[in-house]
Amino acid sequence: MNAHPATWEALGGLFRYPDATYGNRLHHCRQALETCCPQAAACLLEVEEALAGRSQTDWEELYTRTFDLNPSCALDIGWHLYGEQYERGRFLVRCRDLLRELEIEEDGELPDHLSSLLSALGRLPEELAAPFAARFLLPALLVMREVLRDKGSDFAGLLGAAVILAEEKKGDLPVAQPQQRIDFDLVQIGTAGSKAAAGRPMR
């Protein structure tokens, strides 16, 4: 059973800098996943248990060490796909178009931030969500998950849940290999939002 778009957004929100509501949001996201994806919910339960009893300051420091100070786990997906190559700029432009057309606010982060792209994946129609997950998200998510597992990070479960849900979205499509990443036709991202928006009523 696919997760509701609101659940994707809630999961994406867990990859933003922790605030005073972080623990509650983590708990509610895990509960929302219990029915539609118990495996992903179990991953979030691991995070809940690891963070239980810690202060918000502890969460903030852990988040900074895990994601902000660790390039191998940077939350900007384009960095993992293209590094500093020119194609990342094109990717950012396409992601910005996608977020705008899906009515997702960037909220101060770059448009390829994992939190925003998870929200986007939850809103895309299935025929567009599958290649988006297989070609862009999973190549980065799988690497990040292994890095955090190897380090025994308390946030490893966040990546575990994201990988499980993204793999469900991709269906039978193969995950892109590193040597294929630069050859992607990024036009499909720019048009994805338009196709998704076409089915929504005008405001």
| Helix residue spans in the chain (DSSP H) | 5-13, 22-36, 38-51, 56-63, 77-82, 86-101, 114-123, 126-132, 138-151, 156-170, 187-198
Task: Tell me what pLDDT residue 85 has.
Answer: 86
In a domain, 40, yes or no: yes
Give me the number of domains the chain comprises. Answer: 1
Is 202 inside any structural domain? no
Predicted confidence (pLDDT) per residue in 37-61, tens digit = 999 999 999 999 999 989 999 999 9
pLDDT for 84 equals: 86
The pLDDT of residue 199: 47
Confidence (pLDDT) at 177: 75
* pLDDT > 70 in the chain, percent: 87
User: How far apart are alpha carbons 139 and 131 in whole angstroms?
Assistant: 12
Establish if 203 belongs to a structural domain.
Answer: no
Does residue 201 lie in a domain region?
A: no
* Nearest alpha carbon to residue 43 among 72, 71, 14: 14
Average pLDDT across the chain, whole number: 88
Cβ atoms of 66 and 148 closer than 8 Å:
yes
Judged against a pLDDT cut of 70, whether residue 19 lies above it is answered with yes
Instruction: Give the tens place of pLDDT for each residue, 151-192.
Output: 999 999 999 999 999 999 999 999 987 555 444 454 455 554
Mean pLDDT of 89-118: 93
- The answer for residues whose C-beta is within 8 angstroms of residue 111's C-beta and 6 or more apart is 92, 95, 96, 98, 99
Enclosing domain of residue 185: 5-196
